[in-house]
A and B are shown apart, each in its own frame.
Chain A
Amino acid sequence: MTEQAQGKIDFGQQVLKEINEPTPEGETHKRSFWSTISIPLLAILTGLIIGAILIAATSPTVWAAFSESIWQGFGQAFTEIGKAYGALFTGSIADPAKIVNAISTGDPRDIRSAVNPFLESLVQATPYIFSGLAVAVGFRSGLFNIGVEGQLFIGAACATYVGYAVTGLPAYIHMPLAFLAGALGGAIWAFIPGLLKAKTGGHEVINTIMMNWIAFRLTEWLLSGPMTRPGSGGMPLSPLIQDTAKIPQFFASPIRFHLGFFIALAIAWLINWLLFKTTWGLNLRTVGTNPRAARYAGLNTDNSIMIAMAISGALAGMAGGTQILAVNHSMALGLSSGYGFDSIALALIGNNTPIGVILASLLFGTLRNGATRMMVVSAIPIDIIDVIQAIILIFVAAPAIIRSIYHLKQPKVEETQVFLSGWGGK
């Protein structure tokens, strides 16, 4: 009966826990929780350690010190690593010295600038949350949406157009309208491969990749043609959006922290509710987990595929829309630093749960944000962050490696569910 009582509190999470770690006796939720998060945590730790080794190994000063003596070499290596990760921390969370200073002076401007690195990490995490959710919804529904990047571009273009071309609306209408335009654009862009999959069986991986390229070239043409900014001299750049369309930032420049972050959290909650508390969600998850059983149960798998792709695309479109409306305020080609592709990693690290995607996005946002300062302070190329992210992803995707490094026990029952039933699946 305690099971039932707990179920009443939060069935969705309970169910997820059960899915991720089925324990035959239904015992110890504590341990199953730990074993759910232990792999990602250890993967992150290992990624950072390997990153540290790479930082030391690629630093000329470390090599120079090694040629003096081994001890000097190690000493220099630790100094370099400390400098780099120190910069990563101060650049992404906060500089403790600055905080102390700001509190002692009590100047609100100092305080704001002291906490800005942390707020900036949240800004960086925002598009990750949207795009990570987009991929996670796809995976939950048995679809591999690899076209998030393209949907993001189309979403951004739609939000931009509504943002600058529509005038005379009050902000409380114009801003949501532009945001929804972004979602709609992404949804339509993803719906097309969904339709192709449902009606012809064309594989969504191939078709979303194709749609990516169409999206890139289409936005290029739009920005240098119909949507170009007057007087930009042929540069692919859109006009600035109206003030009424802007998603508000909370503080004065240069702090960019904006309402979009909280919209992302709200949408994540909404997706969690949709997936785990509604008939639609059960429908999508059933089709995603076992399409044959779904057909047996009388579900319309074709509809489910199209709906799932549209939702996934809408989320991707929101990622692009928020970036335009809250941060960039106009659209250029360098809109995305590969959010759409990183999002696949985010969904996997987050185990395709909205809460997991949020946590993974915060991690990626923090790393991205801190990397800039790390490059300034210790001349370490920003690419090292890509390497660390890639290593984390490899470990999350191949948990056997982490298990063997840390001598973790094999879980009793297969813990991973089939993410990619789309691959050759029915």
Chain B
Amino acid sequence: MPPILELKGITKQFPGVLANDHIDLELNQGEILVLLGENGAGKTTLMNILYGLYQPDEGEIFIRGQRVEIHSPSDAIRAGIGMVHQHFMLIPVFTVTENVMLGAESVKVGDILDRESAAKRIREISTKYSLEVNPDDYVRDLPVGVQQRVEIIKLLFREADILIFDEPTAVLTPQESDELFEIMRSLVAQGKSIIFITHKLREVMEIADRIVVIRRGQVVGETTPAEADKNALAAMMVGRQVNLTVKKKEPQPGELVFKVENLIVADKFQNIVVDDVSFEIREGEILGIAGVQGNGQTELVEAITGLTKIASGSITLLGQNISNAAPRKITELGTAHVPEDRQSVGLVLPFPVAENLVLCTYYQAPFSKGIILQYDAILEHAEKLIREFDIRTPSALTPVSTLSGGNQQKVIIARELSRPIKFLAASQPTRGLDVGSIEYIHKCIIQKRDEGCAVLLVSPELDEILELSDRIAVMYRGKILAIVPNKGISKDYIGLLMAGIIPEEPIQLSGETEIEVTF
């Protein structure tokens, strides 16, 4: 029997980048194939070609041995290919049934929507594949994990046999991820075939039947979880040996640097998004804030750095009350802020590297005299930081927009960490970066801690939190549910807190903590 899907010699050239370089790929009926690679390796391009969003420059696609041309997503759907996007394509104010029907509406006589029969099919699908969903619920009321199930049902409703999951666990708690894996196993058991795109090694080892590793647009290896271990996979992915764990000394907490008391922040619709949050951070200590994205972490950091007004409570930095202070004042007191969204907040993309490196300090000596900018000093400063932080850029005058994501982040890290700082607020500092950059940025953060800086680290990547933090706070729906020292706590414990469940035993000690860097 031919493989259900076969890609032969797929090549896609973007200006300046060979995103896919003669990629061959086979997917067999009933298997879970993991496509592993760093961000920018070409996984998503390949899947977009398969889904008809891009046209390949070269190469052919075969389904069940038949050559097919896929020019649009509707061609792909007709060929039995379905994709679960990282960001859901659901309409919140529609019910599950309506969302599933959308684009494949079944009608009764006279163009009246036939909701009943659609709902019936959804129930059938959900029992067959153990995808628990109530067809009459509104999508906006569903937790993220269930919304993802609706996405999967959408594909099954259209009778897709080949399912592509693009980084599906990014928005899930560890428990929800486990449930998703159960669902995926049940899908393949009933004859579906799955391509699973990820860069998280733990998931690969857990779910894959077969692993294909992509680096710089090429297939660099194929293996199975039985044959490979995480270190080997990481090395394949990056092209060199990598250190999966950061060495760090015991924390030496000193004076109290930063303190938040009973902080309440409301969004523009007057919803409480940060709800009565209190914590403190000392010199030489990293407090990690864990939590699924969208549980108030963003607003918390914005409030701390002066970008959002607070409703009540107080924020104290080095003994000074900085509640509702201007961002510049907070910066001048010795705060560094690595923002969550580097491209739209942290950088001015069309500006050259040199100007971005003085974004927060351009008005001070030696970068300006009076109102006149001293470009000599600005360039000298830029050259120095480019060398020190190994920013890969053709020159200090190159616009930041042309740098890779990792190098853009290095520009921010260089700018923020090169100042004399007492407090570092880092929000998702390694989101979407390659392994090399992650290693480097983690090292920088640890180094700042060891120099006596108080660090607030916010990340939805639990592994990153466990890796770096000295203490861990878990945020859920705007509240901090618990703050625990990062010593011998299990991932499950944090995972339950992330899901809003406070475990009965305060800390479940697991013999050995297994810690890894997320990729």
The CA of A23 and the CA of B346, in the complex, are separated in Å by 22
Q: When the two chains form the complex, which single residue of A15, A23, A286 contacts B352, counting CB atoms closer than 8 Å?
A: A15
Which chain B residue lies CB-closest to A274?
Answer: B371
Contact A18 B398 (CB under 8 A): yes
Residues of A within 8 A of B350 (CB): 19, 22, 289, 417
Q: Given contacts A293-B348, A298-B326, A298-B328, is CB(A279)–CB(B397) below 8 Å? A: no
The CA of A322 and the CA of B161, in the complex, are separated in Å by 74
Contact B355 A22 (CB under 8 A): no
Residues of A within 8 A of B346 (CB): 293, 296
Q: Is A25 an interface residue (CB 8 A)?
A: yes
Residues of A within 8 A of B359 (CB): 286, 293, 297
Residues of B within 8 A of A279 (CB): 362-363, 368, 371-373
The residue in B329, B362, B368, B397 that gathers the most chain A C-beta atoms within 10 A of its C-beta is B397
Residues of B within 8 A of A292 (CB): 344-345
Q: Report the stretch among B375-383, B452-460, B469-477 that lies at the interface.
A: B375-383
Q: Given contacts A282-B355, A282-B373, is CB(A26)–CB(B349) below 8 Å? A: no
Residues of B within 8 A of A173 (CB): none
Q: Is A252 an interface residue (CB 8 A)?
A: no
Q: Is B396 an interface residue (CB 8 A)?
A: yes
The CA of A102 and the CA of B487, in the complex, are separated in Å by 96
The CA of A14 and the CA of B371, in the complex, are separated in Å by 20
The CA of A289 and the CA of B349, in the complex, are separated in Å by 8
Q: Could you tell me the distance in whole angstroms from the C-beta of A83 to the nearest C-beta in chain B? A: 46
Which chain B residue lies CB-closest to A282?
Answer: B362
The CA of A285 and the CA of B373, in the complex, are separated in Å by 14
Contact B351 A286 (CB under 8 A): yes
A373-408 vs B, CB cutoff 8 Å, 1 = contact: the mask equals: 000000000000000000000000000000000000
Q: When the two chains form the complex, which single residue of B360, B372, B376 contacts A8, counting CB atoms closer than 8 Å?
A: B376
Chain A interface secondary structure, helix, strand, loop or mixed?
helix
Residues of B within 8 A of A106 (CB): none
The CA of A298 and the CA of B305, in the complex, are separated in Å by 10
Contact B348 A278 (CB under 8 A): no
Q: Is B347 an interface residue (CB 8 A)?
A: yes
Residues of B within 8 A of A269 (CB): none
The CA of A281 and the CA of B355, in the complex, are separated in Å by 12
Contact B397 A296 (CB under 8 A): no
Residues of A within 8 A of B360 (CB): 297-298
Q: Could you tell me the distance in whole angstroms from the C-beta of A295 to the nearest C-beta in chain B? A: 6
Task: State which size class the interface on B falls in.
Answer: 35 or more
Q: Could you tell me the distance in whole angstroms from the C-beta of A284 to the nearest C-beta in chain B? A: 12
Residues of A within 8 A of B305 (CB): 296
Q: When the two chains form the complex, which single residue of A26, A278, A281, A300 contacts B398, counting CB atoms closer than 8 Å?
A: A26
The CA of A86 and the CA of B401, in the complex, are separated in Å by 47
Residues of A within 8 A of B399 (CB): 18-19, 22
B 4-38 contacts with A by CB, 8 A: 15-16
Contact A26 B394 (CB under 8 A): yes
Q: Could you tell me the distance in whole angstroms from the C-beta of A416 to the nearest C-beta in chain B? A: 10
The CA of A22 and the CA of B350, in the complex, are separated in Å by 8
Contact A293 B345 (CB under 8 A): yes
The CA of A292 and the CA of B402, in the complex, are separated in Å by 20
Which chain A residue lies CB-closest to B341?
Answer: A292
Residues of B within 8 A of A410 (CB): 15
Contact A19 B351 (CB under 8 A): yes
Q: When the two chains form the complex, which single residue of A4, A282, A286, A293 contacts B396, counting CB atoms closer than 8 Å?
A: A4
The CA of A390 and the CA of B446, in the complex, are separated in Å by 59
The CA of A15 and the CA of B355, in the complex, are separated in Å by 10
Q: Is A225 an interface residue (CB 8 A)?
A: no
Q: Is A97 an interface residue (CB 8 A)?
A: no
Residues of A within 8 A of B379 (CB): 4, 7-8, 11
Q: Is B327 an interface residue (CB 8 A)?
A: yes
Q: Could you tell me the distance in whole angstroms from the C-beta of B334 to the nearest C-beta in chain A? A: 13
Residues of A within 8 A of B344 (CB): 290, 292-293
The residue in A278, A290, A412 that gathers the most chain B C-beta atoms within 10 A of its C-beta is A290
Q: Is A217 an interface residue (CB 8 A)?
A: no
Which chain A residue lies CB-closest to B400?
Answer: A22
Q: Could you tell me the distance in whole angstroms from the C-beta of B16 to the nearest C-beta in chain A? A: 6
Q: Could you tell me the distance in whole angstroms from the C-beta of A68 to the nearest C-beta in chain B? A: 53
Q: When the two chains form the complex, which single residue of B327, B373, B376, B397 contacts A14, counting CB atoms closer than 8 Å?
A: B397
A 269-321 contacts with B by CB, 8 A: 277-282, 285-286, 289-290, 292-300
Q: When the two chains form the complex, which single residue of A15, A277, A282, A289 contacts B397, counting CB atoms closer than 8 Å?
A: A15
A 248-282 contacts with B by CB, 8 A: 277-282
Contact A24 B345 (CB under 8 A): no
A-B contact pairs, 23 of them (CB 8 A): A3-B395, A4-B395, A4-B396, A7-B375, A15-B352, A15-B355, A18-B352, A277-B375, A279-B368, A279-B372, A282-B355, A286-B351, A289-B349, A292-B344, A293-B344, A293-B346, A294-B348, A295-B307, A295-B327, A297-B327, A298-B328, A410-B15, A412-B15
Q: A293-B347, A294-B348 are in contact. List 16 more A-B contacts (CB 8 A).
A: A3-B396, A3-B397, A22-B398, A24-B402, A277-B373, A277-B375, A278-B368, A278-B371, A279-B373, A282-B362, A286-B348, A286-B359, A293-B344, A296-B327, A296-B346, A298-B330
* A contact residues vs B (CB 8 Å cutoff): 3-4, 7-8, 11, 14-15, 18-19, 22-26, 277-282, 285-286, 289-290, 292-300, 410, 412-413, 417
